[in-house]
Amino acid sequence: MSEEEIKKQNDLLELKKLISKKCVGSCSSNLWLNHLLNKYPWEYLMFTQFNTIKTGKRKQVEEKLKEKWIFRLTEIQKLQLWERDVDFLNGVLDCLDYLIKEKNTEKNN
């Protein structure tokens, strides 16, 4: 396992630990939590999907993710696109559609 993978695992363990607390006490802990939320928003959403206590923080993360996606889409729209770029973007959309379909199928079974 690479050093980067070990760091990510440690970060995710710390994120799990921080979100399991009812209240994150110190200023430095809150700063660290916010850093981890910015770095691992999808993981946070996964870890808290069944948590009904911290819905406010979850909504914040969801909004930040939306902002990141909208920013990226806006940047892509400004670019000069070639056929390979369009093929790539369509592939990304196909992957997202596949994921949504799979998750909906799991949910319905």
- The pTM score is 0.82
Q: CB within 8 A of 30, min separation 6: which ones?
A: 24
DSSP string of the chain, one letter each residue? --HHHHHHHHHHHHHHHHHHSSS--SHHHHHHHHHHHHH-HHHHHHHTTT-SS-HHHHHHHHHHHHHHHHHHHHHHHHSPP-HHHHHHHHHHHHHHHHHHHHHHHHHH-
pLDDT value at 24 more than 80: no
Using CA atoms, how far apart are residues 8 and 49, in angstroms rounded to an integer?
A: 20
Q: What is the mean pLDDT of residues 31-51?
A: 92
pLDDT in tens, 25-38: 778 888 888 999 99
- Please give the residue that has the higher pLDDT: either 24 or 61: 61
pLDDT value at 55 more than 80: no
**Type of residue found at 28:** S
pLDDT at site 21? 80
Q: What is the mean pLDDT of residues 46-50?
A: 91
Q: Give the distance from CA 91 to its chain's centroid.
A: 20
